[in-house]
Amino acid sequence: MYQHVTSSFEVANNGHTYSADLAGLGYGGITYENSWYNLMNINIHAMSEHTFMSQHKPLEIHLVHKKFDSDALLVVAVPIDGTTPMLPALLQMMNVSGSSLMRESSFTQTKQMPPAGFPLAVTPPPAPNMLGSVPLYVPPPNTDSNFNPVLQFFLKGAPPAPNQKVVVPVDELAPMDLNMLLRQGTYFEYAGSTTAPPCAEVVTWFVRREPILASDMQVSYMRDGIFRMTADFGNFRGAMPLNGRQVAVRQGVMEEPPPRQLENSIPLGPNPRTDREFRAMKWAKDALKIAKSATDYIKDLDMRLRGAAQAHANALAPKLMPVYTATPSPFVDQSKSTQPVDIAKTADSMARTIAQAAKEAITAASQQISVEAKAAAMAAAKDAAQMAIAGLPPAPAAGPAAAPAR
């Protein structure tokens, strides 16, 4: 779902392509895998960066989207074809001999006849110089066959010179509707990279299968301008091999965008929370996310350095670092495992052993008690005897017989 562009926007020429920056303007986007991707910018390429049956289209529009909470990109590639399709033989000549030969063969009056079996191409009028050598610029008329109103916004005025920008006027009564580029389309989906350096592998591509038609003059103006700014090389990247990538087919469905997140309101009261606090919280979360990414990056770099050092050591001295193998788990002989009968016998033997040891301990204790009791009884008897002897009157002394009385 794209909102109608009702205000003027800038088209820049960075020396490689024409680009319209629409980031942050709230013009809509795409929902993919339950995630929202905002529209960032629109780029135009000539020739097309995707081939159909090994053939390029004259133009290709890229609608670049960015995921709302990460750096992931989603690019929708829309091929543009003219009213008069270019001959396959001329496209093959362009692929072999360069873009200038293609342009001379297809857009100038020549007497060269096409190969047998192909119809004659209607030669459109030559495009004016996009760099300003021709002072008068005449936009393509809207009465031409297959006139494209979306592409016409990039051709209302003379496209900008390299490293320059122009403001495209937009009438609120005739806004630019980007939904026309995606409506009723079938798309090839694959995971790839950006087509400009550093060619990061962060892009999900959707390539429209059905080309969008434009008038021959619109295609000629835009394509010739791109070829002139790139010294007749074009700004399309060569087709890359699939390298095992899976290509899926999806159908675009127009729907309402997800509701916007409510903005944080500043509460009132004696101690109101100001906007600085919300910004500080946001900065803290961003710093935490960056710190985690840096930690993961350092960890990955450390693992790579360790692996490189190990590979270097193995290359210099393969036998210097012994290869340690994991200790195998101990083998348990299931045939000698203890059976329930053996467990019962073992328990019975242990019970008898414990009973015998207890009996012997009791006997030894009884004998010890008997000896100690006997010794105590003898000691008590001896003490009693001494006490009894100490309590009797002294015995008369023994001597000769008493003398008779006188």
| Average pLDDT per consecutive 10 residues, the chain (406 residues; last block may be shorter) | 87 87 86 89 89 89 89 91 66 42 32 36 46 67 89 86 86 86 90 80 90 90 88 83 86 76 60 70 88 89 89 76 58 56 75 82 82 82 79 59 49
For residue 188, the SS3 value is strand
Task: Look up the CATH number of the domain holding residue 207.
Answer: 3.10.200.10
Other C-beta atoms closer than 10 Å to the C-beta of 218 total: 29
Q: What is the pLDDT of residue 360?
A: 84
What is the domain count for the chain? Answer: 1
Residue 88 near residue 55, CB atoms below 8 Å: yes
Would 66 be classed as within a structural domain?
yes
DSSP for 362-376 reads: HHHHHHHHHHHHHHH
User: pTM above 0.85?
Assistant: no
Would 200 be classed as within a structural domain?
yes
Count the helix, strand and coil residues of the chain and give each as a percent rounded to the nearest 5: 35, 20, 45
Q: What is the pLDDT of residue 209?
A: 92
Q: How many CA atoms lie within 13 A of 42 on its CB side?
A: 19
Would 337 be classed as within a structural domain?
no
Other C-beta atoms closer than 10 Å to the C-beta of 87 total: 17
Q: What is the pLDDT of residue 104?
A: 33
Question: What DSSP element (H or E) covers 192?
Answer: strand 186-192
Please enumerate in sequence order all residues whose Cβ is within 8 A of that of 232, keeping only pairs 6 or more positions apart, or say none.
Answer: 98, 99, 100, 103
Q: What is the pLDDT of residue 109?
A: 31
Q: What is the pLDDT of residue 135?
A: 56
Would 317 be classed as within a structural domain?
no
Task: Report residue 124 as tokens.
Answer: 């459109």
Would 224 be classed as within a structural domain?
yes
Residues spanned by the domain of 186: 9-84+124-251
CA-to-CA dists, residue 260 to 26, 29, 263, 272, 402, angstroms = 11, 13, 9, 25, 147
Would 262 be classed as within a structural domain?
no
Please enumerate in sequence order all residues whose Cβ is within 8 A of that of 220, keeping only pairs 6 or more positions apart, or say none.
Answer: 82, 107, 124, 125, 126, 127
Q: What is the pLDDT of residue 395?
A: 59
Would 362 be classed as within a structural domain?
no
> Rounded to an integer, what distance in angstroms lies between the CA atom of residue 85 and that of residue 401?
178
Q: How many CA atoms lie within 13 A of 313 on its CB side?
A: 11
Task: Report residue 379 as tokens.
Answer: 């000691």
* pLDDT, tens digit (0-9, with 9 covering 90-100), for 120-143: 334 444 444 444 444 588 889 888
